Amino acid sequence: MVERQKNGRCHHIGIIGGTRGMGEWFARFFEKEGYGVHVSGRKTGMNVKDMAERCDVVVVSVPMGATTAVIEEIGPHMRKDALLMDLTSLKRDPVSAMLTSSVSDVIGCHPLFGPQTGSMEGQHVVLCPARGDRWISWLRTILSKHGAHVVETTPDHHDRMMAIVQGLNHFNTVAMGIALSQSGATLSELSLFSTPAFKAKLKIIEKVFCRNPGLYAEIITMNPDIGPFIEMYARIIAEMKNFIHKQDGEGMTDLIEKRADYFKSA
């Protein structure tokens, strides 16, 4: 017999995209909490209709490019008393698709850590509550209990922040990685001359290039808010190049010092 949630009590959680990555991480997390967890991927697991019928909470955790289509598939099958949520790195389009395609409660969720992270302790998790109030305290409580810093905001604000924290950041990493690979120096040669700052940067580059390049590519290309930041970045590079051409150390120092106050509160 199908168990139903009463007053936001959850028994079964379905995770579409729970066979790998972030979805698998949350599948293990919810299992450890004692919930019945059902996962699916493209070729395995429960079909969407059964998942929507059986589960009190359905989580969509598929690559960004597939997210809207998957939400539109599951949404119409969701119960009114259930929760539809996602883990997508952008929030505007997935939350809008969840609201349009279902009658259930809707919360957009973005864990600001990856599946290599051991625990939620000290990590940030963004929530965008979008419809209903049956589930928000359940979700807040379970995340906070594991030490997450829960930040609640709108999808628009989230995506603007992610254009900087992820979009601009990973754009910079990809450009640096490509430049290194075209520099003519091998990594083993560079490693003989590595400083701590360079070693730290290499670790980040290795993560972006070798773990899940598609994810980073989607984070950079699919956020409509990223354009102005990349334009600004290109202008800054042009300005910096100018100081190099003129061998103008003073000008470069001045450029850095003018911005130092911004970082002093960090």
Task: Give, for 57, the enclosing helix (H) or strand (E).
Answer: strand 57-60
Q: How many residues bind ligand NAP (CB under 6 A)?
A: 27
Binding segment (CB under 6 A) for ligand NAP, from list 58-66, 132-140, 146-154, 162-170: 58-66
CB of 60 to ligand NAP, least distance (A): 8
How far apart, in whole angstroms, are the C-alpha atoms of residue 216 and residue 29? Answer: 24
Residue 15 dihedral angles phi and psi, to the nearest 5°: -125, 110
Does 108 engage in binding with ligand NAP (CB under 6 A)? no
Q: Are 5 and 14 in contact (CB under 8 A)?
A: no
Nearest distance from residue 246's CB to ligand NAP, in Å? Answer: 41
63 binds ligand NAP (CB under 6 A): yes
When asked if residue 111 is in the footprint of ligand NAP (CB under 6 A), the reply is: yes
Contacting residue, 64, 127, 161, 220, with ligand NAP by CB under 6 A: 64
Q: Which of 6, 32, 42, 49: binder of ligand NAP (CB under 6 A)?
A: 42
Q: Does 62 bind ligand NAP (CB under 6 A)?
A: yes
For residue 178, count other CB atoms closer than 10 A to its CB.
Answer: 12
- Asked if 120 is part of the footprint of ligand NAP (rule: CB under 6 A), the reply reads no
- Residue closer to ligand NAP by CB (options 46, 134) is 46
- How far apart are CB 176 and ligand NAP at their closest, in Å? 19
Query: Should residue 61 be labelled a site residue for ligand NAP when binding is judged by CB under 6 A?
Result: yes
Question: CA 77 to CA 49: how far, in whole Å?
Answer: 6
Cα separation values, 49 from 166, 170, 181, Å: 34, 37, 47
> Min. distance of Cβ 3 from ligand NAP in angstroms?
24
Give the 3-state DSSP-derived string for 208-227, with helices as H, strands as E and coil as C. Answer: HHHCCHHHHHHHHHCCCCCH
Dist CA 79 CA 63 (whole Å)? 24
Tell me which of 5, 68, 88, 173 binds ligand NAP, using CB under 6 A. 88
The correct pick among 81, 190, 212, 233 for binding ligand NAP (CB under 6 A) is 212
Q: Which of 17, 129, 132, 167 binds ligand NAP (CB under 6 A)?
A: 17
Phi/psi of residue 217, nearest 5 degrees: -60, -40
61/41 Cα distance (integer angstroms): 10
Of 71 and 82, the one with the shorter C-beta distance to ligand NAP is: 71
Tell me the two tokens of residue 70: 């998957």
- Neighbour-count burial of 117, counting CB atoms closer than 10 A to its CB (0-12 exposed, 13-18 middle, 19+ buried): middle
Residue 66 binds ligand NAP, judged by CB under 6 A: yes
Tokens of 121: 């302790």
Interface residue list for ligand NAP (CB under 6 A)? 16-17, 19-23, 41-44, 61-64, 66-67, 70, 87-89, 110-111, 114-115, 212, 215
